[in-house]
Structure 1
């Protein structure tokens, strides 16, 4: 299978905002392993073009999303420097296809984590602090008609991320019980607690470190790790304003223009 060729198709769709048909329809034998190879090929192309990896994201951490795609574990993607929006910086809707917004907890690492055998305790020791974050997901697959290999190949449907300005030491937070409220245009659209993320957000980070060991990839010191959505993603249009609030972490707002 031409991993680099398929990755190039996805990157062209992203650049032109013209979606492609599901990879699982075009390539019926596409496996999850193939999909990760495609993702990695795409990241290497972006790095060769000057982009820098600044972290990783974990997706499909909720039981509802796993059931929807018929899987029993999360997936992951890469975060690049040109995906990061500064707090207060608007997100340009025209640069995306069908974006959706998620509120997440971001782990900022002070030490490298590399599996196998990484535990929640290891994640706590390696984490400098936690920040509130938005992840803006988008799919280069037409109309979000995705199966698991589609989203994995498409860098886990990553598009943009926004970090809050406040970082709290991980020891000062109960990540299972921390509450989150997501508002859209001044109205509450969803709320939840950290336990919705794989039972514990740090468990999701440990899963990622162990999963990446198969590809000889580590979670590096200084990286941002998005641990997964606390609630369902919300569709975003130009003019929409989102606010996410975490108990003990403060709030973060994002406007689409």
Structure 2
């Protein structure tokens, strides 16, 4: 891809955020589209958003579980950026019309108490950097039409990021084994998913290690106070207007995303 191609791809994705009109897969538009080019496109968007005043509050790791890789047809993790305006409170209904085709994933969010910078970050380093964990729901969305994505497509689309809902009760690592932490997801009172922390690269902490060592060589440090979303414990659940989604985690607590009912004419 030429520099002009990279710029045009970034502009197309930014425009899709604005008008909520998805674009064709970039892998179809640009033959030979690579993961390296996809991260270039993601970072071009991040640069524009930060120049416009948006504030980075953390990062997400996506596609860490076999079930999510199988659901979206990819074979390795990716990462994206989380901005302050992507965080929603549990008590406030979320307007689904601001998305294109949203889905929800249950995750165990990390909040860091000290910076974490790779390469060379170990599991011990990651544990030492974690302040506490929170029950969380990530809203993912795709600016690529019909979720017809490859790994490169979702990377370019900021890892399909769209929103985050955090629970309000912190839990500490010495009181829970994240590998064995079970999760049940309810939507509108019905069980729609179950899973455990071990689905996330064996442990969500491994996802944090992967992230720090992946972004470190790019000059990116995971700052103190950052929220890190390490990946979903279950398959993603499609959002339905008016139907709340609750994830309950053993030993950690629960979190609910409330979605506003569909407006009628």
Q: Deviations over 1:3-39 (max 9, x none)?
A: 3332121011011111111100001121000000100
8 Å CA contact retained: 2:68, 2:234: no
Extract structure 1 runs of 4+ deviating beyond 4 A. Answer: 67-72
Cα offset for 1:226?
0.2
SS in 1 for 2:228: strand
- With normalisation by structure 2, the TM-score equals 0.94
Q: What per-residue deviation string (whole Å, max 9, x for no partner) do you get for residues 187-215 of structure 1?
A: 11111110001101000100000011231
Residues 70, 19 of structure 1: alpha-carbon distance in 2 compared, 3 angstrom cutoff: closer
SS at match of 1:204: helix
Conserved? CA contact 1:112–1:221, under 8 Å: yes
Task: Give the alignment partner of residue 57 of structure 2, picking from 54, 57, 69.
Answer: 54
Q: 1:110 aligns with which of 113, 119, 127?
A: 113
- Of 77, 80, 90 in structure 2, the residue corresponding to residue 77 of structure 1 is 80
Question: Where in structure 2 are the equivalents of 1:122-137 lying within 5 Å?
Answer: 122-137=125-140
Q: Structure 1, unaligned stretches of length 5 or more?
A: none
- Partner residue, 2:233: 230
C-alpha distance in structure 1 between counterparts of 2:151 and 2:13, whole Å: 15
1:130 CA displacement: 0.3
* Structure 1 residue 139: Cα displacement: 0.1
CA–CA distance in 2 between the matches of 1:170 and 1:219? 19
Match of 2:189 among 165, 182, 186: 186
TM-score by length of 1: 0.97
60-69 or 46-55: bigger deviation: 60-69
Q: Distance in 1 between matches of 2:102 and 2:109?
A: 20
Task: Structure 2: state its 5+ residue gaps.
Answer: 261-265
**Pairing of 1:108-257 with structure 2 (within 5 A):** 108-257=111-260
Count the aligned residue pairs: 257
User: Is the CA contact 1:4–1:42 (under 8 Å) kept in the aligned structure 2?
Assistant: no
Distance of 2:136 and 2:70 partners within structure 1: 25
CA distance in 1, matches of 2:73, 2:92: 36
Q: CA deviation at 1:70?
A: 6.0
CA RMSD of aligned residues (A): 1.2
Structure 1's 70 and 242: CA in aligned 2 closer, same or farther, altered over 3 A?
closer
Secondary structure of 2:231's counterpart equals strand
Moved more, 129-138 or 84-93: 84-93
